[in-house]
Structures are given as C-alpha cells and as structure tokens.
Amino acid sequence: MSKSFLKSSILLRMAIIAFLTLLLLIPAAIVESLIKERSERRDSAIREVSDKWGLPQIITGPILTIPVRHFVQDEKGKEIPLIEYLHILPDSLAIEGQLSTETRSRGIYEVILYNSQLSLSGGFNFEIISAYLQSGYTAIWNDAVITIGISDPRGIKENVHMVFGEHAYAAGAGVRFPDIVSSGITVLPKLDGTSKNYPFSFSLSLNGSSEIQFCPVGRQTAINLKSSWPSPSFTGAFLPDSRSLSDSGFSSHWNVLELNRNFPQFWLNKRYDVTESVFGVRLLRSVDEYQKTLRTAKYAILIVSLTFLAFFLSEVLSKETLHPIHYSLVGLSLILFYLLVTALSEHFGFDSAYFVSAASIVVLIGLYSMAIASQRKTPAVIAAVLFVLYIFLYIVLQNEDYALLIGSMGLLTITAIVMYLTRKVDWYSVENPEQHKT
C-alpha cells in the first residue's frame, strides 16, 4: 500500500479509524475489569472489618413456639401420640431504635459501622389459638420456647433479659427451631396456660455494618428508627410511612399490618418463610466512586469515536493528513483517562478525580495536536471539543434518570454540527484530488 494512496483515499482512512476505534474497546474492557476488581477489593475489605464487628443485621421475632400433642392412628389402627410445634407471632410489636454510626478505615477503604440500641415491646394473645387447641391438640406449656432471630449474633454487645408476663428471663445462645430463623437467641418462659395475654419487653445492644432490617412479625408492627447518618437508603418489602432527612441525620417510622404480609399469626411446623417480608435501612456512602467510575467507562467508545471524528473533520477541512499512529496515541490517551479517574477517586473523591483527569487529558492531547497539526487553529478546536465532551459526559453521569434523553439530544446536536461543517465539502474531490484538478 503506497503512502500516496493512504493519504488520498478517504474511505481507507475512515476504515482504519473505525478499526482503531473498535480495537480500543480491548483496553477499555480491561479498564472496566480493573474498576470491578478494585470494587471487589473494597467490598472484601468491608467484609473483613464487618466480620470482626458485626455483619448487616436482620431482627426477627420474638416468636413463641409451643409443642402440641395429638394422636394419630398407625397402620394397625392404634392411636399413638405425635408432637408437633405451634409457632405463634405477637399480637403487637413496637420497636424503638437508635443507630450510632462510625466510619473505620481498612487501608484506603472506609467501612460504615453502627451500634443499635433497640427497645422491643408488645404482647402475645392466646385467644387466637384457643379454638385450635380445643380441636384435639394439647399444649405442652412447660416446653414453650421464645425465639429472637439475629442474623449475626456476634454483634450482640450486652446480655439480653426479657420480661415476659410477670417474670424476667435471661436469653440463651442459639435457636431451637432453625426452620424459622437460622441464628439468634432463645428464651425459655414458664407458662401455665391459664393466662391469655403475655406482655413482653426487652432491649438489644447490637453491632452491625451497612444495613439493619426487621421482620414484621406482629399483627401490627410499629418501628421508629433514628440515626445521625445523613444518607440512608430505605430497603426491603416496605418503605417508611413517614421519614425525616437532614444533614444531621434521619428518623423514620414504619407501620406494618398482618394483612400486608404473606404469613399468618400462627402455624404448625415449617410452612412459611417470614424473612421474605423484611425491611429496614441501608447506610449509604454519600458517593460510590467505583459505581460512578464504571458508568463513566461505559461511555469510552462514545468519547473515542467523537474525538476521532473531530480529528478526521480537521483533516478534511484543513486538507492535511494524520497517520494512524497519531490516532492510536490519542485513543490510548483517552483510555488512560478512565484509569486516572479510578486511581484518583480512591483518594480524592469522584468529582475532583474526574476534573483533574479530564484537564490532564485535554492538555495532553491539545499539546500533541500542536505538534502534529500544521494548522494553528486545529489544537484549539480539538481541545475545545474534548472540553465539551467531558463536560457533556459529566452532566450525563449526574442525571442518571435523564441520561438517555440528554445523550440522544447531544448526539443529535453533534450530528447537526457535523452536517453543517461538511455541507460544502466535495467528497469526490477529497477522495480523488488528482482527477478534479482543473
């Protein structure tokens, strides 16, 4: 392939530029993989600290379990006793909670930890099971068990004492019925079957990290939660009925009814998964640098394509030819931008990292354009185009809900500008300049 043919064939140059654009997807994909790897490393550091302090917590209960005996006939018609387990949920459950948060560092990463001071109260009403117990089932009251589900018991900071009825009971480790909850603590109350209502109350001092959730086991569950953390995210099956957010923290209130969930007030043996209805709050970082950087990297092909388009139009309009090596170096510089953003955002935050990286690349490519372009205005045009592109990308990133609309309007505007600038270009003359000489 002769040098003159490469310089004169605009279609060949366009094909080479398109090939280089697609080729640059390889380093762009490597950068995206690196961003994901750094994000996973951050998550690993968070888990390492959380394992020692307390994982995200899910509070389930209390749930009262009473063994019941009834008789069934065997193959010979003989009646034999069978023990089953009746699980009863509270008639009412109220939780008052205060989250005290702190941030700890693991290397360059920060981990959000909390201590929750929870006060739980409510009551059990045995009237709901009286008809059930009269239909051939006999309750074994002395073997009743109260289960309080805690997803990570390592976070418990103080001994738990429950006031149940007129007596106080110390909680023991572990759960007797893992088919209800997989981990937690157990209280062994003394019941006589004569009382129909048993109020209860107890407190939990519980360490956790990032998130706390609750299961609405009460016929009516009311939860009030407060914290000084300024950026909560309410998650799970139910959003708060009311909430208050400010720079000094948040407060939230949930009120969940039995009718709002998909399990009843009592059942026999294992029939329902109560954890499907959990809800609560996640303590977010104000900015997730890796998420924003990854979103930025996904626009790499767009930035590279539009920058190459700017160089190509400069070639056409100024009637000078750049070598594919020039395009390759410029493309690699554009990919380097995403690596810079990733590295700097780990230390200085995303916004600062973005603008420092963008300014560095604009200056680098602008100076390089001054060295390779004969026209003085070309570097200024290229630098202006890059400046606009990075500002445009930043606006798109800040408006995630309107990203498609803003991106579409931006591309329409760019297409209109290209059509306007090339409206009088004689492409046949550009492609075969020797044949169009007069």
Q: What is the pLDDT of residues 69-118, one digit of tens each?
A: 877 777 776 777 888 888 999 999 999 999 998 887 777 777 888 999 99
Residue 4: what pLDDT?
A: 57
Judge whether residue 417 has pLDDT over 70: yes
pLDDT-based confidence at 9, cuts 50/70/90?
low
What is the number of domains present in the chain? Answer: 2
**Mean pLDDT: which of 22-31, 215-224, 265-274 is highest?**
215-224
Pairing of β 184-187 and β 57-73: unpaired
CA distance 209 to 285: 12
**Of 286, 310, 335, which marks where a domain is finished?**
286
CA distance 164 to 182: 23
For residue 83, count other CB atoms closer than 10 A to its CB.
10
Same domain, 139 and 185: yes
Identify whether 48 is part of a domain. Answer: no
Pairing of β 79-88 and β 57-73: antiparallel
> Which whole number is the average pLDDT over 163-186?
91
Residue 438: what pLDDT?
A: 46
Q: What are the tens digits of pLDDT across the range 350-382?
A: 888 889 999 999 999 888 888 887 777 778 888
Same domain, 254 and 337: no
Same domain, 120 and 218: yes
**Of 253, 286, 319, which marks where a domain is finished?**
286
Same domain, 77 and 140: yes
pLDDT-based confidence at 428, cuts 50/70/90?
low
**Of 256, 286, 316, which marks where a domain is finished?**
286
Same domain, 8 and 77: no
Identify whether 46 is part of a domain. Answer: no
Same domain, 232 and 307: no
Identify whether 251 is part of a domain. Answer: yes
Positive or negative torsion for Cα 293, 296, 301, 307: negative
Same domain, 77 and 203: yes
Q: Which of 66-75, 130-139, 232-241 has the weakest average pLDDT? A: 130-139
Contact 381, 354 (CB under 8 A): no
Residue 5: what pLDDT?
A: 52
Range of the domain at 34: 3-40+290-436
Identify whether 47 is part of a domain. Answer: no
> Which whole number is the average pLDDT over 211-219?
94
317 CB contacts (<8 Å, ≥6 apart)?
421, 422, 425
Q: Shortest CA distance to 28 belongs to which of 390, 300, 293, 304?
A: 300
248 CB contacts (<8 Å, ≥6 apart)?
228, 230
Q: Which of 185-194, 292-301, 421-430 has the weakest average pLDDT? A: 421-430
Contact 147, 180 (CB under 8 A): yes
Same domain, 26 and 71: no
Positive or negative torsion for Cα 413, 417, 419, 423: positive
pTM of this prediction? 0.73
Same domain, 270 and 345: no
Identify whether 168 is part of a domain. Answer: yes
